[in-house]
Amino acid sequence: MTAPLQWDVFCQVIDNYGDIGVCWRLASQLAARGERVRLWVDDASALAWMAPAGHPGVELRPWGGELPAAHEAAPGVLVEAFGCEIPEAFLAWAVGRAPDRQPAWINLEYLSAEAYVERNHRLPSLVMSGPARGWTRWFFYPGFTPATGGLLREPGLLNQRPAGFADTWRAAQPAAATAPERWMSLFCYEPPALPALLAQALQPGAVVPTRLLVTPGRATAAVQAALSTLPVQHGALQLQYLQPTDQQGFDDLLHACDFNAVRGEDSLVRALWAGRALVWHIYPQDDGAHHAKLAAFLDWLQAPASLRDFHAAWNGIPGHGPLVVPDGETLAEWTACTQAARARLAQQSSLVDQLVGFVLEKR
Catalytic one of 8, 80, 258, 265 = 265
Range 92-110 burial, b when 16+ CB lie within 10 A, else e = eebbebeeeebbbbbbbbb
Q: Where are the alpha helices (DSSP H) in the chain?
A: 18-32, 47-50, 88-97, 116-120, 165-171, 194-202, 218-227, 247-256, 266-274, 289-301, 305-314, 328-346, 351-362
Q: 311 near 280, Cβ under 8 Å?
A: yes
| Cα angle 108-298-336, degrees, rounded to a multiple of 5 | 110
What is the Cα–Cα distance from 3 to 179, expressed in whole angstroms? 54
| Cα angle 146-150-155, degrees, rounded to a multiple of 5 | 115
Catalytic one of 8, 15, 19, 35 = 19
What is the Cα–Cα distance from 219 to 222, expressed in whole angstroms? 5
What is the Cα–Cα distance from 213 to 186, expressed in whole angstroms? 6
Q: Is 246 a catalytic residue?
A: no
Q: Is the dihedral of CA 154, 159, 162, 163 positive or negative?
A: positive
Q: Is 329 a catalytic residue?
A: no
Q: Which residue type, as a one-letter code, is found at position 193? A: A
The arrangement of strands across the sheet holding 210-214 comes to 237-241, 210-214, 182-186, 259-263, 277-281
The partner residues of 279 in beta bridges, in order of sequence, read 261
User: Which residues form the catalytic set?
Assistant: 19, 265
